[in-house]
Amino acid sequence: MKLKINKKILAKNEDCAAANRKFLKDKNILCINMISSPGSGKTTTLEKTINMLKGKVNIAVIEGDLQTQLDAERIRATGAQAIQIETKGACHLSAAQVTNAIHTLNIDQIDIIIIENVGNLVCPSDFDLGEEKRVVLVSVPEGDEKCAKYPKAFAKADVLLINKIDLLEHLDFDVNRIKKDALKLKKDLKIFEISAKTGDGFEDWLNWLTKTKK
């Protein structure tokens, strides 16, 4: 019974995601779904990305959190548009919530919409939001076993961002291990090592982003 209901929910979500994808494609907007654990640095990475591309690429953000408008406020402080979805307890975003958010944004001047999903490496992987590309982010303090433990998040991603590399010298985090594990799950995964704090490694990530937009 439970399985049947889950299948139905996922099928309905797929329809909605397909409609989002078509709508954004017609408007020539690149949409990215960003997935990671809480605190790994999604919002900080987005702030840095927006600031570094200012005047060149216009980015809007859809924020997902259980509650509060805090992340949307951080993004707005950069000058970019941000819509906050408060899921009121749900641990992932659904495509229908994203549809509403897209229609709340002023999308006339937007090149890229980045969705910061609810901090969770588990069920967001199962919910297509209508994105063109999926980015999974892992940070150094979380440990290098994340791919092994949460394979689906990596197998379905196009990009892996390894964040907080400024902390590598303080922690036992084997970058090669996580890269090897990730590439086993997805052989053409693009991997960038970054520090959202210092801006290290951003050049390659931003190049990928701007190239993918074209």
Ligand X SMILES: Nc1nc2c(ncn2[C@@H]2O[C@H](COP(=O)(O)OP(=O)(O)O)[C@@H](O)[C@H]2O)c(=O)[nH]1
Q: Which residues bind Zn ion (CB under 5 A)?
A: 91-92, 123
DSSP H helical ranges for the chain: 2-26, 42-52, 70-76, 95-104, 146-149, 151-155, 175-185, 202-213
Q: Tokens 């590309």 correspond to what residue?
A: 133
Contact of residue 123 among Zn ion, Mg ion, ligand X, none (CB under 5-8 Å per partner type): Zn ion
- 3-state per-residue secondary structure call for 84-127: EEECCCCCCCCHHHHHHHHHHCCCCCCCEEEEECCCCCCHHHHC
Greatest extent of the chain over all pairs of C-alpha atoms, in Å = 52
Residue nearest to ligand X (CB): 41
Decide whether 91 or 96 has the Cβ nearer to Zn ion.
Answer: 91
Among 19, 44, 58, 107, binds ligand X (CB under 6 A): 44
* Shortest distance, position 114 Cβ to ligand X, whole Å: 12
Contact of residue 92 among ligand X, Zn ion, Mg ion, none (CB under 5-8 Å per partner type): Zn ion
Question: Counting contacts by CB under 5 A, is residue 43 touching Mg ion?
Answer: yes
| Chain contacts with ligand X (rule: CB under 6 A) | 36, 38-44, 119, 163-164, 166-167, 195-197
